[in-house]
């Protein structure tokens, strides 16, 4: 099930209420209202059940569901370790799924366990494109019209399926 990041129930052990209420108790805001632009992300218009604010996710083949599930669970274990490091630094727990694993190069402060920023993702995307270019010796044109944005990749993947 996909749950709206703001309105759905938390389903966290020991917590009741919506994710928004949980974030309020932690003194955090949803990513769509993040004070730093690099942390802001949005929930695209997914058709949600009006009573539960969630929707079902379907996989094309059972083996893909198993593969996704195994990777997701392994990632959750890894994420837990990183967030524990964040808490050990005296920073609060948070429910955001994607987290950083390095340091801020400009300040040399640890970012381990912090919510992964959109700008960090874009930097990783650009580095990946450069590695592909180096490997195959060809330049990859950048931009929406070339289908080389992260969002375009989602569409190409869906079209391939």
Domain definitions of the chain by residue range: 1-57, 61-116, 117-161
In this prediction, residue 108 carries a pLDDT of 85
On whether the CB atoms of residues 80 and 111 are closer than 8 A, the answer is no
pLDDT of residue 43: 67
Task: Give the alpha-carbon dihedral of 16, 22, 24, 30, to 10 degrees.
Answer: -140
Burial of 23 (0-12, 13-18, 19+ CB in 10 A): buried
Query: Above 80 in pLDDT, residue 40?
Result: no
pLDDT above 90 for 51: no
- Residue 96, SS3? coil
More confident: 106 or 74: 74
pTM over 0.75? The answer is: no
Average pLDDT over residues 54-81: 90
Query: 69 CB contacts (<8 Å, ≥6 apart)?
Result: none
């Amino acid at each position: 099930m996909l749950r709206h990041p703001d309105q759905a129930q938390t389903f966290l052990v020991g917590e009741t209420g919506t994710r928004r209420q949980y974030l309020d108790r932690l003194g955090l805001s949803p990513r769509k209202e993040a004070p730093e632009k690099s942390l802001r992300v949005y929930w695209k218009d997914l058709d949600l059940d009006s009573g539960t604010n969630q929707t079902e996710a379907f996989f094309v083949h059972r083996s893909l569901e198993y593969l996704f599930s195994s990777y997701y669970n392994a990632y959750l274990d890894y994420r837990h370790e990183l967030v524990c490091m964040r808490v050990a630094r005296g920073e609060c727990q948070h429910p955001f799924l994607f987290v950083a694993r390095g340091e801020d190069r400009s300040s040399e402060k640890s970012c381990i366990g912090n919510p992964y920023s959109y700008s960090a993702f874009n930097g990783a995307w650009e580095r990946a494109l450069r590695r592909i270019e180096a490997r195959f010796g060809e330049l990859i044109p950048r931009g929406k019209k070339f289908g080389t944005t992260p969002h375009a990749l989602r569409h190409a993947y869906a079209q391939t399926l």
